[in-house]
């Protein structure tokens, strides 16, 4: 007999969400037809169609997240799970129909493109899609380079659902740190000996991360909505942290824990109310911090379905001296005035420009950073949202949407897509010369060589 939780997993697999969570031998790809460069009208058409698909994809993501949360909430409720599974099916069908229509439209209006190319230019369903023919690579990928899987993260006895990799960032020596959020781990990839190790556990169910210019690891600690600075050189011994929600966490907890030294930079509240959950963070060269604060219900909260206490999902600013903490913008609305959801965030090395993705609005914005840290001159940089993202030294954004989609900040055009076997959640440049692109994607950790370098030392 299937339990509600097993039923939910089966429904998720059937809907395409969990399929890529299990390693499968890759089928030999069919020979790809020659790729034809896109002209300006074709770029505009692709961008517009992907922008229209973005809210449908986000609705599918939200429905899947709700189903996952229901399956992990104790006790499980079969009727609730069934209703949420129906919502996933409806959202999945809406995306499939809209995507098919977009592909048909583009194919008929852009007859210079082969069918395989059109299929991969339109964002796949949900969080990065379900595979397909090889996508046209951006010119920033090194000749002959391919995506290499470096590691598959294991499911522990205390993992909430399936492993989920996120939060990639690179240390001053090029090593890459990322999170396996559902197991409350921060991982370290050594570029010298190509080994993966656990840097910190538990880690506050960390999400987005970035190294600052002093070599400290800045962490969005999602469990208590905090912002941390974690040392790579100092240790501390503390009473083992009890999970906020007793239903999750490692049951085999010793009395004390020796871990990297943690400094809490922000206590999880704004104007006395809990934040929605710091999601991604960028460290400006002067030490200021900017982070996105959407709201996604979490199984490690208590209660897991607590309502949002903030009146909007927006961007926050924390000054280098940690004395000024405020909202960085008056609102985070799209061009039509609809409230958006900030997620991926990245800035330029000179500290003058900040980019923030509106994951539900299908847009990414650029802002001018003023000397006091305020943001002005909001403009749409490209018609695509993103989870985590990064920036190269040629002004291209690498966005975790439909594979790793690469957009020029100079033209707003999509210049190519890096297909990844699992749906990406975050990206960062790392390695000795900062030219390797590392990708966190569901249970996996991937990399591909580029012919550019990351714009930021930590991303």
What digits encode the pLDDT tens for the residues 183-202? Answer: 999 999 999 999 999 999 99
Closest CA to 346 of 239, 251, 427: 427
What is the model's pTM? 0.76
* pLDDT confidence tier of residue 39, bands split at 50, 70 and 90: low
Output the pLDDT for position 66: 65
**Residue 342 lies inside a defined structural domain of this protein:** yes
Output the pLDDT for position 274: 97
Judgement on whether residues 91 and 157 belong to the same structural domain of the protein: no
Domain of 322, CATH number, reads 2.120.10.30
Judgement on whether residues 278 and 179 belong to the same structural domain of the protein: yes
Least confident residue range of 109-123, 194-208, 282-296: 109-123
Residues in the chain: 459
- Judged against a pLDDT cut of 90, whether residue 171 lies above it is answered with yes
Judgement on whether residues 91 and 236 belong to the same structural domain of the protein: no
Judgement on whether residues 72 and 210 belong to the same structural domain of the protein: no
User: What is the span of the domain harbouring residue 256?
Assistant: 148-449
Output the pLDDT for position 15: 35
* pLDDT confidence tier of residue 43, bands split at 50, 70 and 90: low
Burial 275-311 (b: 16+ CB within 10 A, else e): bbbbbbbbbbbeebbbbbbbbbbbbbbeebeeebebe
More confident residue, 259 or 57: 259
Judgement on whether residues 97 and 203 belong to the same structural domain of the protein: no
Judgement on whether residues 98 and 198 belong to the same structural domain of the protein: no
Mean pLDDT (the chain, rounded): 83
| First-residue to last-residue Cα distance in the chain | 47
Judgement on whether residues 167 and 289 belong to the same structural domain of the protein: yes
Which pLDDT tens digit goes with each residue over 388-438? 999 999 999 999 987 899 999 999 999 999 999 998 999 999 999 999 999
Sheet holding 289-293, edge to edge: 280-283, 289-293, 314-318, 325-327
Which pLDDT tens digit goes with each residue over 124-147? 544 333 333 445 799 999 999 999
Distance CA 33, CA 50 (A): 23
Judgement on whether residues 152 and 192 belong to the same structural domain of the protein: yes
- Give the total number of structural domains in the chain: 2
More confident residue, 336 or 156: 156
Q: Name the β-bridge partners of 274.
A: 269
Return the percentage of the chain with pLDDT > 90, whole number: 66
Residue by residue, DSSP assigns 275-335 as: -S---EEEE-TTS-EEEEE-----TTSSSTTPPP-SSS-EEEEE-TTS--EEESSS--B-T
Judgement on whether residues 330 and 422 belong to the same structural domain of the protein: yes
Return the percentage of the chain with pLDDT > 70, whole number: 74
Tell me which of 69, 104, 121 is where a domain ends: 121
Distance CA 332, CA 375 (A): 12
* pLDDT confidence tier of residue 23, bands split at 50, 70 and 90: very low
Judgement on whether residues 60 and 195 belong to the same structural domain of the protein: no
Output the pLDDT for position 337: 87
Average pLDDT (264-274) is 97
Average pLDDT (300-310) is 93
Angle between helices 78-109 and 40-72 (to 10 degrees): 170
- Judged against a pLDDT cut of 90, whether residue 256 lies above it is answered with yes
Average pLDDT (244-256) is 92
Least confident residue range of 109-123, 179-193, 221-235, 252-266: 109-123
Output the pLDDT for position 103: 64
């Amino acid at each position: 007999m299937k339990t509600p939780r097993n039923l939910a997993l089966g429904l998720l697999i059937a809907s395409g969400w969990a399929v890529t969570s299990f390693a499968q031998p890759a089928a030999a790809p069919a020979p790809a037809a020659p790729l034809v460069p896109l002209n300006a009208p074709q770029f505009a058409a692709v961008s517009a169609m992907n922008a229209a698909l973005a809210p449908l994809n986000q609705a599918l993501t939200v429905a899947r997240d709700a189903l996952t949360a229901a399956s992990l909430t104790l006790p499980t409720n079969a009727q609730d799970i069934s209703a949420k599974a129906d919502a996933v099916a409806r959202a999945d069908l809406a995306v499939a129909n809209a995507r098919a229509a977009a592909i048909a439209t583009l194919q008929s209006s852009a007859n210079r493109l082969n069918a395989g190319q059109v299929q991969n230019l339109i964002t796949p369903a949900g969080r990065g899609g379900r595979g397909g023919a090889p996508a046209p690579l951006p010119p920033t990928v090194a000749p002959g380079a391919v995506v290499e899987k470096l590691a598959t993260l294991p499911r522990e006895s205390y993992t909430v659902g399936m492993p989920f990799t996120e939060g990639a960032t690179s240390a001053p020596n090029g090593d890459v740190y990322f999170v396996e959020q559902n197991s409350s781990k921060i991982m370290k990839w050594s570029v010298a000996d190509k080994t993966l190790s656990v840097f910190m556990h538990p880690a506050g169910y960390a999400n987005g991360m970035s190294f600052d210019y002093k070599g400290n690891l800045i962490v969005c600690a999602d469990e208590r909505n905090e912002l941390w600075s974690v040392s790579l050189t100092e240790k501390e011994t503390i009473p083992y942290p009890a999970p906020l929600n007793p239903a999750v966490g490692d049951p085999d907890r010793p009395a004390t824990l020796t871990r990297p030294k943690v400094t809490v930079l922000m206590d999880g509240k704004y104007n006395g109310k809990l934040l929605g959950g710091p999601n991604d963070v960028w460290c400006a060269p002067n030490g200021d911090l900017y982070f996105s604060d959407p709201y996604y219900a979490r199984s490690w909260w208590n209660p897991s379905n607590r309502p949002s206490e903030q009146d909007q999902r927006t961007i926050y600013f924390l000054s280098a001296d940690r004395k000024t903490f405020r909202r960085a913008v008056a609102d985070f609305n799209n061009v039509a005035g609809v409230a958006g959801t900030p997620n991926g965030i990245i800035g330029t090395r000179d500290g003058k420009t900040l980019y923030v993705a509106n994951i539900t609005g299908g847009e990414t914005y650029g802002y001018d950073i003023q000397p006091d840290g305020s943001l002005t001159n909001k403009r749409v940089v490209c018609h695509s949202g993103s989870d985590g993202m990064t920036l190269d030294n040629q002004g291209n954004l690498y966005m975790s949407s439909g594979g790793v989609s690469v957009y020029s900040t100079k033209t707003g055009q999509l210049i190519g897509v890096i297909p990844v076997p699992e749906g990406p959640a975050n990206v960062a440049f790392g390695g000795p010369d900062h030219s390797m692109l590392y990708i966190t994607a569901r249970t996996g950790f991937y990399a591909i060589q580029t012919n550019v370098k990351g714009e930021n030392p930590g991303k």
